[in-house]
């Protein structure tokens, strides 16, 4: 599964980084970037939680 942050939608709340710092990091502009693009089963649960909690609905999982 490919993990993607839509940088246009991202509003920089940092919720994703709080939930999964191994998957997301905010840059100096406060925009989130993914640290692992192709995630395996071991990261799926946290990725889905970040998707649910992202206030901007800016995180996508692409099969």
Determine, following the binding rule CB under 6 A, whether residue 51 of this chain makes contact with ligand SF4. no
Q: Are 36 and 51 in contact (CB under 8 A)?
A: no
Determine, following the binding rule CB under 6 A, whether residue 32 of this chain makes contact with ligand SF4. yes
Determine, following the binding rule CB under 6 A, whether residue 3 of this chain makes contact with ligand SF4. no
- Kindly state the DSSP code that residue 56 receives in the 8-state scheme: T
- Pick the closer one to ligand SF4 by CB: 39 or 54: 54
Ranges assigned E (strand) in 1-63: 2-5, 24-26, 32-34, 59-62
Residues that bind ligand SF4 (CB under 6 A): 5, 10-16, 24, 26, 32, 54-56, 58-59
């Amino acid at each position: 599964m490919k993990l993607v942050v839509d940088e246009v939608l991202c509003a920089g709340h940092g919720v994703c980084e709080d939930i999964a710092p191994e998957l997301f990091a905010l840059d100096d502009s406060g925009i989130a970037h993914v640290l692992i693009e192709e995630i395996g089963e071991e990261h799926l649960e946290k990725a889905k939680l970040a998707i649910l909690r992202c206030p901007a609905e800016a995180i996508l999982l692409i099969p």
